[in-house]
Structure 1
Amino acid sequence: MSDIEYPSDLVELESAAWAEIQAGRLTVATAQAVHQGIAEFVARDDVTATRLDVEMGLKRAVRHPADA
């Protein structure tokens, strides 16, 4: 998971979602934007990771940057 290079826009979406989660106000629109961004990223020809691996790695990179 750590060898995946996430585009900055996807990291920004996940960061926004994480901030909303921490504030207790995650919106459906934000959650859908993250899921859509992940789906589009995984659909690229050069991405061999599964959607689940991408999502888990992205969450880890945003929520625990020292571990990533």
Structure 2
Amino acid sequence: MANPSEDLINLCRAAVEAQRAATSEPYTKERWAAWLEAAEAFQRAVVEEAGREPKQSRLELEQAAKKAVLHPEESSGG
């Protein structure tokens, strides 16, 4: 399985937190803009990090980062 960097995990965490904030209250363009910006930053970082290693799957890297954020107990081996 892919091993995302701490920076990538932090960007994923920021996107997840922005999503929670955006969807916790009625829609506003400003609230959703923060979520979209965070998600775009995460996706750019995934593409960049995946491109650093030959044969690194962007999908596997993204999934590993999301698992580390959303299911830390599973990704830590416990």
TM-score by length of 1: 0.80
- For the pair 1:62 / 2:60, whether they are aligned, the reply is no
Deviations 1:16-57 (A, max 9, x none): 011112222552211110000000000003x53311111111
In structure 1, C-alpha distance between the alignment counterparts of 2:55 and 2:19, rounded to whole Å: 29
The reply to whether residue 17 of structure 1 matches residue 25 of structure 2 is: no
Counterparts of 1:6 and 1:56, CA distance in 2: 9
Q: Is the 8 Å Cα contact of residues 4 and 64 (structure 2) preserved in structure 1?
A: no
- Higher helix proportion (structure 1 or 2): 2
**RMSD of aligned residue pairs (Cα, Å):** 1.6
Structure 1: gaps spanning 5 or more residues: none
> Displaced runs of 4+ in structure 1, greater than 3 A?
none
TM-score, normalization by structure 2: 0.71
Q: Which runs of 5+ in 2 are unaligned?
A: 24-30
Matched, 1:36 2:34: no
Judge conservation of contact 2:47–2:58 (CA < 8 Å) in 1.
yes
